[in-house]
Amino acid sequence: MRKIFFESLIHGTLTEAPPSPDQAALTELGASLSRVVRRRIGRSLAIRQIDAGSCNGCELEIHALNNAFYDVERFGLRFVASPRHADVLLVTGPVTKNMREALERTYRATPDPKWVVAVGDCAVDGGVFAGSYACVGAVSAVVPVDLHIRGCPPSPLQLLKGLLALLEPGAAVEKA
């Protein structure tokens, strides 16, 4: 363990590797995101993810935000375990009727001010599952949505861009 640990220390962080276009965009995005978050709420941004019927593809990419390449915590974005600690709800899936109540309850459990981001084509309008007897469809049909991030699933970079758009003045409705 020590060997791997020290090796990682010596080899530096992955994000310092020669910047590919991807990497450069990421650093820039992250920096502006963290500026905006500090200005708007004066601390890191707490995010709670809710799967409202996703195929689990969106979750995989949301997970990826935490890996060493994206490492969103350095920009002041933090995933929290309870809606009661959250500023932002990231909702995925075509809101299955079996999850509707849980989504509403989770929304109510989140303190104000809060933002809701609908992540993925399913959350935007039901995606390929639109019209099913078992789905409500758009997240916005159940809880008020501040921002939609399209994609099936959206890539980690698209997710970061979305979160930035959410917090930039003018891009989102002021709710505080």
Partner 1 sequence: MPALIDMIDQGRKIPHHRPWARAVVHSDVWRFAASQLAETHWLLLGLWGDTHAVHMALLEEGSTGIGVISLECADGRFPSVGQTHPPALRLERTIRDLFGLEPTAGPDPRPWLDHGWWGLRYPLGARVGHPIEGYSYDFLPSEGESLHQIAVGPVHAGIIEPGHFRFTANGETVVRLEERLGYVHKGIEGLMAGADLTMAARLAGRTSGDSTVAYGIAFARAAEAALDIAPPPRAVWLRALMAEIERLANHVGDIGAICNDAAFALMHAHCAILRERVLRAANECFGHRLMRDRALPGGVATDLEASGIACLRALVVEFRRRFPALVDLYDNTASLQDRTVGTGVLQPTLARQYACGGYVGRASGRNFDARRMPGYPPYDSLRFEVPLLEAGDVNARVWVRIREVEQSLSLIEQILNQLPGGPICADVARSGAGPREGVALVEGFRGDILIWLRLGGDGKVERCHLRDPSWFQWPLLEAAVEGNIVADFPLCNKSFNCSYSGHDL
* Partner interacting with residue 112 (select from partner 1, ligand SF4, none; CB below 5-8 Å by kind): none
Site for partner 1 in 126-165 (CB under 8 A): 127-129, 131-135, 152-153, 155
Number of alpha helices (DSSP H) and beta strands (DSSP E) in the chain = 6, 5
Is 62 one of the binding residues for partner 1 (CB under 8 A)? Answer: yes
Closest CA to 33 of 147, 165, 169, 172: 165
Q: In angstroms, rounded to a whole number, what is the distance separating the alpha carbons of residues 124 and 151?
A: 9
> Which CB atom, from 51 or from 146, has the smaller least distance to partner 1?
51
* Partner interacting with residue 132 (select from ligand SF4, partner 1, none; CB below 5-8 Å by kind): partner 1
Nearest approach, Cβ of residue 82 and partner 1 (Å) = 7
* Partner interacting with residue 100 (select from partner 1, ligand SF4, none; CB below 5-8 Å by kind): partner 1
Closest CA to 97 of 48, 45, 134, 148: 134
Distances (CA, A) of 157 to 7, 21, 24: 28, 12, 11
Residues whose CB falls within 8 Å of the CB of residue 124, separated by 6 or more in sequence, listed in order: 118, 138, 139, 148, 150
Binding residues for ligand SF4, rule: CB under 6 A, are 54-55, 57-58, 92-93, 120-122, 127, 152-153
Among 34, 49, 76, 118, binds partner 1 (CB under 8 A): 49
